[in-house]
Chains A and B, each alone.
Chain A
């Protein structure tokens, strides 16, 4: 996908750690209607970041800005490496009977701005598609039409499509919606493993509880960035009150992690 040519060496020397995504004071708007205001955040290599906030708080907009799909009206975004993007499922056309395999291969074939004439996947690319499908436990469904799958299964295929390009940075928009608990856990472990291998994962979630042991940071949004940092620093009563309008009660689990008692205001 989009690899922004910036001198990574210089970037590393300057910052010490390796910054993969630099969001510098961005404001984003749709037809003059501001969706995101003055947001700044850096995400490092191998970090696993959860983006939270109520509906309409600009979570999807933040991912779109990072992916370069929309241009901020103010500020700038710098990205060091390749990106994969998994959309919120309501943005996918539910009526096209494409085979699961072809849906996943789509991201590989579209990679890069250059038009690719050959539709045939190389052996290596085929392996990447297979691996991605296995990672989300959907390989057996490779020949099924996408339209025949349940909502949760479709979600898993969309995740596989994002994984198949082997990106440096993974942007996921509510990847767990409608996904059953065992698969959800499997995917969380996979994302956690990817981040420990140096891939940067940024995911929008409404319910952070199942991820809380794995994420390195939480970004709490409500048009502006209310808080960004370690989960226990972000999930304070004051911050959740500012983001959601009510404070979300938290408990501490045996391992000492904070867990919000409600996934989200609307569950």
Chain B
């Protein structure tokens, strides 16, 4: 039998990998990876606000606070970038502004937290070994939703990413699918933040699919390989943190992002 904290850490790594594979790949295909950083900082702001509310005596799950903020920030970025037919760069500008806004908000909220400095630290850098059972439950249901949405809308996401122009011409509701993807990004960001903290979300979220896409000869390959990269990174992080006094999340994110650079190097 594994100790429960390790069991929870391993389960969290699997859940993180599913999100990195599904949402990560759709995000990379849609050229929207920049959005992930924005959603992560909004999630941080929301989680910090949940802690403030807790200090006032009301209980709000921290990850839920993060989720609400990340969804709002993502949808706002999508709305601000509306009507930019096929100009993803313009969408990114809108995201950059919402990113700056939510980052400022996060700093503001964190500065208001008096007593739980350690918890803020946990939000920022995470700790795979300190995941609570209720956090894990929430991560599980969030991941289940991501899987379901991916299965249902796989083709639509692919078409809209491949060429939005023609998807529109064929009467597809491109805006709707974009909002759906934006929401999915927010959900996955919160799941991954639950494991590795807000700072490392981007590395775990984007690096595996960005690496996989470099070698891919089919879309299925990208999903499979990004899952494996993420899983390996997470397990390696856990393993190493038993041998050495390292944060497992940091090692996982370092491994995941290193694969990107190694692959870029191998390709050239």
Q: Which residues of A contact B (CB under 8 A)?
A: 1-2, 31, 64, 67-70, 83, 85-87, 91-93, 95-99, 102-103, 106-107, 109-113, 115, 119, 145, 147-148, 161, 171
Contacts and interface: CB of A to CB of B under 8 A. Distances in A.
Contact of B169 (A31, A67, A99, A148): A67
A1 B167 CA distance: 10
A98 B171 contact: no
Contacts of A98: 158, 162, 218-219
B170 to A, nearest CB: 4
A109 B221 contact: no
Contact of A110 (B165, B172, B213, B216): B172
A267 to B, nearest CB: 25
Contacts, number: 90
A145 B216 contact: yes
A85 B172 CA distance: 13
B163 interface: yes
B155 A109 contact: yes
22 contacts: A1-B169, A2-B171, A67-B169, A68-B169, A85-B166, A87-B165, A92-B165, A95-B28, A95-B213, A96-B158, A97-B213, A97-B216, A98-B218, A106-B162, A107-B166, A109-B155, A110-B159, A110-B167, A113-B172, A115-B156, A145-B218, A161-B166
B162 A69 contact: no
Contacts of A110: 155, 159, 167, 170-172
Interface residues of B, number: 29
Contacts of B170: 1-2, 85, 107, 110-111
A83 B169 contact: yes
Given A103-B162, A110-B159, A96 B219 contact: yes
Interface string B123-160: 00000000000000000000000000000000110110
Interface string B28-40: 1101000000000
B159 A93 contact: no
A86 B213 CA distance: 25
A145 B220 CA distance: 11
A85 B155 CA distance: 18
A246 B136 CA distance: 69
A69 B168 contact: yes
Which residue, B85, B86, B166, B217, has most C-beta atoms of chain A within 10 A?
Answer: B166
Given A69-B169, A83-B169, A92-B162, A97 B219 contact: yes
Contact of B217 (A68, A95, A145): A145
Contacts of B50: none
Nearest to A66: B169
Given A85-B169, A87-B166, A98-B162, 13 more contacts: A68-B171, A69-B165, A87-B163, A93-B162, A96-B158, A96-B219, A97-B217, A97-B221, A106-B158, A107-B166, A109-B155, A110-B155, A110-B170
Interface in B154-212: 155-156, 158-159, 161-172
Contacts of B164: 91
A209 B221 CA distance: 44
B29 A95 contact: yes
User: What are the 5 A-B residue pairs with the smallest beta carbon separation, nearest first?
Assistant: A85-B169, A97-B216, A110-B170, A113-B171, A91-B165
Which residue, A2, A98, A161, has most C-beta atoms of chain B within 10 A?
Answer: A98
Contacts of A1: 169-171
Given A85-B166, A92-B163, A107-B170, A97 B218 contact: yes
Contacts of B163: 87, 91-93
Contacts of A83: 169
B103 to A, nearest CB: 28
A96 B29 CA distance: 6
Given A1-B169, A67-B169, A99 B161 contact: no
A199 to B, nearest CB: 17
Contacts of B166: 85-87, 91, 107, 161
Nearest to A31: B83
